[in-house]
């Protein structure tokens, strides 16, 4: 399982570098999705499937959909349609597709090599243990993170208001 950890970490680093170096926002989003899925694979290889599933659902699922909608909202007008067609040529999907296929092969290897589910000889962390940790010694950190997310939501609402732009 150490191989799976280092392999997924390498894919995460490569795809994150592609996110940073890409000037096209759609390409950067594709590589960011691959990076988040690779981070989830590192959680799976470390024996924390709950954290891996949360990573896929919360980040690679919900937040990436939000980013895609923001990119779609910012590119309005007929000129953006031709620009998006130029961005989404079939050759663009080669890099993310290769990295995704590598991660899928690694996932299948991990699932079929160790059917018991325990990785690296460690115990599997379940949802109850995560809940006890989050609402036990880390309660203050969880509450501070929720306040930060609330402040970000209020700021995004005020920035996106149409009345504020008209004044």
- pLDDT tens column, 51-108: 888 888 888 777 777 777 776 666 556 666 677 677 667 777 788 888 888 888 887 8
Helices (H), the chain: 2-21, 25-45, 49-54, 64-74, 78-87, 94-113, 127-134, 139-160, 162-166
1-102 in CATH: which number? 1.20.120.1200
Q: Which region among 2-11, 64-73, 104-113, 143-152 has the lowest average model confidence (pLDDT)?
A: 64-73
Indicate the domain borders of the chain: 1-102, 126-162
- In this structure, which long-range contacts are made by residues 48-55, counting pairs with CB atoms below 8 Å and at least 24 apart in sequence? 48/124, 48/125, 49/117, 49/124, 49/125, 50/125, 50/126, 50/127, 50/130, 51/125, 51/130
Cα Dmax for the chain? 62
Q: Report how far residue 56's alpha carbon sits from residue 79's, in angstroms, rounded to the nearest whole number.
A: 34
Q: Report how far residue 75's alpha carbon sits from residue 54's, in angstroms, rounded to the nearest whole number.
A: 30
Model pTM?
Answer: 0.58
Q: 3-state class of 56 per DSSP?
A: helix
Q: Which residue has the higher pLDDT, 117 or 114?
A: 114
Exposed / middle / buried, residue 165 (Cβ in 10 Å: 0-12, 13-18, 19+): exposed
């Amino acid at each position: 399982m150490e191989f799976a950890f280092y392999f997924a970490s390498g894919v995460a680093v490569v795809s994150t570098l592609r996110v940073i170096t890409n000037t096209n926002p759609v390409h950067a989003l594709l590589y960011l999705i691959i990076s988040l899925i690779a981070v989830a694979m590192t959680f799976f290889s470390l024996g924390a499937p709950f954290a891996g599933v949360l990573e896929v659902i919360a980040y690679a699922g919900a937040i990436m959909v939000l980013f895609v909608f923001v990119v779609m909202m910012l590119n309005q007008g007929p000129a953006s349609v031709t620009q998006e067609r130029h961005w989404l040529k079939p050759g663009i999907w080669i890099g993310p597709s290769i990295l995704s296929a590598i991660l899928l092969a690694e996932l299948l290897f991990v699932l079929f090599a160790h059917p018991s589910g325990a990785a690296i000889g460690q115990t599997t962390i379940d949802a109850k243990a995560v809940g006890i940790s989050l609402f036990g010694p880390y309660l203050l950190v969880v509450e501070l993170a929720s306040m930060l997310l609330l402040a970000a939501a209020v700021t995004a609402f005020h920035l996106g208001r149409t009345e504020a732009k008209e004044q």
